[in-house]
Amino acid sequence: MTQTKPFDKCPICCSELAEKQVVKPLRSGVYTAVIKVRAEVCLHCGERLYSQETVKLFEDIRRKPL
């Protein structure tokens, strides 16, 4: 269990990924929560890849009423 990066290459275009902090809007009912998370961002096509932990965080936020 030494893998820290969930992705090596962009699954869309196989380009390099860079870890960046991105702003992610999450809708929860009539509200939208905007959170900052780390994501792997494709330098070529801009695809964002989130780790499983981050995806789980999104789900937790979506489930919670604000």
Determine if 10 is a binding residue for Zn ion (CB under 5 A): yes
Tokens of 8: 């090596």
Applying CB under 5 A, which of residues 44, 56, 62, 64 lies at the interface with Zn ion? 44
Beta bridge partners of 50: none
State which residue, 11 or 38, has the beta carbon closest to Zn ion.
Answer: 11
AA identity, residue 66: L
Minimal distance in Å, beta carbon 7 to Zn ion?
10
* 17-28, strands of its sheet edge to edge: 17-28, 31-42, 48-49
Positions in the binding site for Zn ion (CB under 5 A)? 10, 12-13, 15, 42, 44-45, 47
